[in-house]
Structure formats: structure tokens, C-alpha cells
Structure 1
Amino acid sequence: MGLKAAPEDQALLLELQELDTKLRQLARRSEKLPEREVVDTLTGKKTELERTRAEQSGAVEDVRLELKRTESDVEVVQARITRDAERLRTSTSVKDVAALEQELESLGRRKSDLEDIELAVMETLEEREAALAGTEAELAALSTEISEATAARDAALAEIEGERTHAAANRQTVAAKVPADLLALYEKQRERYGTGASHLRGGVSSASGVALAATDMTKIRAAAPDDVILCPDSSAILVRTAESGL
């Protein structure tokens, strides 16, 4: 013997299905929220910029170390120039004077070359520091943008959650009115096929959107009002009302 349920109890399933559909739509809306996608996109961009900043910071540090080495080399050469100049000033040996003058000339060229290198390194450092500063400015602006986008996302999610809470409470109220065996069948069909109840309106099943075959309609017309019938197309519980066209 098939399941029996009063027509008014079966009609409650349409309310339940409507609420379940709304809850499913809200869950999908939450997952596909445009504000969420904006935050994800901006966060991805931030990750890329942070990677760039790390690379640029390393490049700046490398140039700073190179500059320190060059400055140290210049200082060493300058110290030798100062020492040899002092020796030249006090030397009385013609041979030593000639050697010192030759060495000072060589040290002068070395210092000039080092200073050219030092200047080039300083220019490179300035360029890399400017690039790093530009990236840091982008990150600062992006952080502000992410904060604003996150606030917009959270506000949208809070709105959806409010709707979800309201719908869930209504569902609980409606479900409590449905006989246990009818509710169990509804839940089983909904879990298995995606839809638990279908409204037969004008001979068309709302779950499938398809007009039922004449043979199916004949069987449905012959069924008692309290018979629980499954839709031949969607397998959802077929709820009959005054709009069913029977």
C-alpha cells in the first residue's frame, strides 16, 4: 500500500520546496558572489606584488653591498695615496721619489676607475630603490583597495546570511507541520534527485517543466486525493492542487 497524506499536508511540501530552493540559491549566490571574486583577484595581485617587492628588495640589498665594497676599495686606495704622498714629501732618495711618483700615478688612475664604478653603482642603486618604492606604493594602494573590497564582500555575505537564517527558520517551522513519513520521503527524493516536491499545474510538472503524458494524467486523475504520487519525470512528490487541471 502506497503512502497516504492529507492534501493539505502534501501542499506544505510546496512551501518546503520553495524554501529549499531559496536556500540552495543563496548558497550558490554566496559562492559566486562578485564581491568575493573581486577580493580574490586583488589578493592574487597583492601576492604577485609582494613577490616582486621581495625580488626588488634583494636586488637593492645586493647593490648596496656592492656600493659598500666599492667605497671600501676607494678608501683603501685613498689611504695608500695619502701614505705615499707623505713618504714622497719626506723622501730624499731620488730612486724612491721616482718609484713613489709612479705608484701615485697608478693609484690615481685606480681611484678614478673606482670612483666611476662607484658612481655607476650609485645610479643603479637609485634606480632600484625607485622601483622598490613604486612597488611599495602600489602595495599600499592595493591594501586600501582590498580593505574596501573586503568590507563590501562581508556586507554582501552578511545580507545573504540574514536571508539564509530567515529562510532556514521558516523551513524548520514548515517542516514541523509535515507528517514524519511524508517528510522523510520528501527528504529522500530531494537528496536523490535534487527536488523533493513538484507542483502539478495545468498538467505540467514544475520540477521538470514538462507536460505529463496523457496516460500519466489518467492515472493521476484516478488516484485518491490522499495518495502520495511521484512525478514520472522528476521523481519528486507530485503535489496536486486546484490548479493541476485534473
Structure 2
Amino acid sequence: MKAAPEAQRRLLDLQAVDTALAQLAHRRKSLPELAEIEAASREISALEDERVRAQVTVDDLDRDISRFEKDIEQVRLRKDKDQKRLDSGAAMREIDGLQHELATLKRRQSELEDAELELMEQREAGVAGLADVQARIAAAVQRRNDAEKRRDSTLDEITKEQEFKSGARGPLAGDLPADLVTLYDKIRADSGMGAALVYAGRCGACRIELYGADLNRVKTAPADEVVRCEECRRIMVRTSESGL
């Protein structure tokens, strides 16, 4: 393929734009905030499971405490009723039975109150654990929100830069020979780079030094000949810096 030396040199400008666009695309996909957001989301999900378990524990304790309170109230009412009968002058045959039942009810009330107190202590620990999980969820959500804001801000900047670079690429490619751009784009699609400067006797793409017959081929090729590297197959652009 033939192309004017100046057109070949301008391929380097086109490659610089395409390299910048590729770097921006890579940056878009590899923002550190993306990993932060994913990690925070996983943490929130795990903490939500923990929160549900903690809430169930507190709810179960609340039901148990409520049941104990009802039992204690029933015992208290029964005890008060027996005490009133005893105080009102119960028959002699009933006194022993009432006194025995009162003693039993007092023990039962004490046992229930002790059990309720233990449950209340467990509930206090459960509520504290629930509050701790909720605080950790709030902190993780805040970290995720902050990371999302930073991500969005950076993505806006990247988008603007991509639009600027893409806007510059069109006119640049449009001023070059169509067949040269087609070849360049095909090579770039296959390898990520379509053209590179030959610098100090080396291919600027694969960095391999030219020597022997290959060096002679590049040196003796006409200035308007589009030369490609034997190793990486990219277009080699020759300038006064090429050292040929």
C-alpha cells in the first residue's frame, strides 16, 4: 500500500487519540470506586441477614417476656384472692389449704419473676446487638453512597473527555486516505494498536530492534510505502527519529 509520508505520520496522531480513548475506556471499567461499591453492597447484604436474626431474637424475647408477665399477673391475682379470703376470716378447715397455696404461689411468683428478669437481661443484650448491627449497616450504606458519588463524578469527567477525544478523531481520520485508515483500524481492532513510530531502529509497538534483512527492507522502502513490522504486523511510521 502507498500513502504519503505526511499521511503516515498523521497516523501517529490518530493512534494517540485512540490510545487515549482506550485508556479512558479501561479507566471507566476499573475505577476503584466500583470495587468499593461492590464490597460495601456485599457487606450490607450480610449485615441485613445479621440484622434480621438479631431482630427475630429480640422479638422472640419480647413474646416470652410478655407471656411471663401474664403468668405473673395471674399468680398475683390468685395470691391476692387467697389472701383476701384468709384475711376475711376463712373457715378453720380452709386456713391450712389457703396458707399452703399462698406459699406455693409466692414461690411460683418468685420463680417467674427471676425467669423474667433473666429474659430481660438477654433482651437488653439482644437490643444492644441489634443496635450495633444497625449502626454498621448505616456506616456501610454511607460508605457505598460516598463511593457512588465519587464514581459518578469521575464517570462524568471520563465521559466529557471521551466525547472530546471522539470529536477530534472524526476530522483527523477523515483527512487521511480511506484505505490507509481501513488498514489501520483493522490492525488496531486485532491488536489494540494500529501504528507506531520506528524509533532508534526499533518498532515502537513491539519494541523489537530491527536488524539484518528486515532492517534493510525498512531502510530501503520508498517513503510512500506503508511498511509493517514483521513481528507484530503494525504499521511502522518512519521519521527523522527512526534512526534508519
TM, length-normalised to structure 2: 0.91
Counterpart in 2 of 1:214? 212
Using the TM superposition, name which of 101-110 and 44-53 deviates more. Answer: 44-53
Deviation at 1:207, TM superposition (A): 0.4
| CA deviation map 1:21-48 (0-9, x unaligned) | 1111122222222233333333333333
Counterpart in 2 of 1:20? 18
The secondary structure found in structure 2 opposite 1:72 is helix
The secondary structure found in structure 2 opposite 1:211 is coil
| 2:134 maps to 1:125 | no
Deviation at 1:165, TM superposition (A): 1.8
Instruction: Give the number of aligned pairs.
Output: 244
- Of 9, 12, 15, which residue of structure 2 is paired with 1:11? 9
- Of 68, 83, 86, which residue of structure 1 is paired with 2:84? 86
- Of 150, 174, 177, which residue of structure 2 is paired with 1:176? 174
One-letter amino acid matched to 1:159: E
- Of 88, 104, 107, which residue of structure 1 is paired with 2:105? 107
Using the TM superposition, name which of 43-52 and 230-239 deviates more. Answer: 43-52
One-letter amino acid matched to 2:113: E
Instruction: Map residues 1-246 of structure 1 onto 2, 5 A cutoff.
Output: 3-90=1-88, 92-246=90-244
Using the TM superposition, name which of 28-37 and 199-208 deviates more. Answer: 28-37
The secondary structure found in structure 2 opposite 1:242 is coil
| CA deviation map 1:137-165 (0-9, x unaligned) | 23333333333332222222222222222
Cα distance in 2 between the residues matched to 1:33 and 1:148:
14
| Structure 1 unmatched ranges of 5 or more | none
| CA deviation map 1:49-73 (0-9, x unaligned) | 2222222111111111111111111
Deviation at 1:125, TM superposition (A): 0.8
Cα distance in 2 between the residues matched to 1:196 and 1:133:
59
| Structure 2 unmatched ranges of 5 or more | none
Cα distance in 2 between the residues matched to 1:68 and 1:62:
10
Using the TM superposition, name which of 195-204 and 142-151 deviates more. Answer: 142-151
Cα distance in 1 between the residues matched to 2:9 and 2:76:
99
Deviation at 1:90, TM superposition (A): 4.4
CA gap of 1:191–1:47, structure 2 versus 1, over 3 A, is same
Identity percentage of aligned residues: 37
* Superposition CA RMSD, Å: 1.9
One-letter amino acid matched to 1:11: R
The secondary structure found in structure 2 opposite 1:200 is strand
| CA deviation map 1:191-238 (0-9, x unaligned) | 112221121122111101121122112112232222222111211111
Deviation at 1:91, TM superposition (A): 6.0
Cα distance in 2 between the residues matched to 1:58 and 1:173:
65
| Contact 1:193 1:235 survives alignment (8 Å) | no
TM, length-normalised to structure 1: 0.90
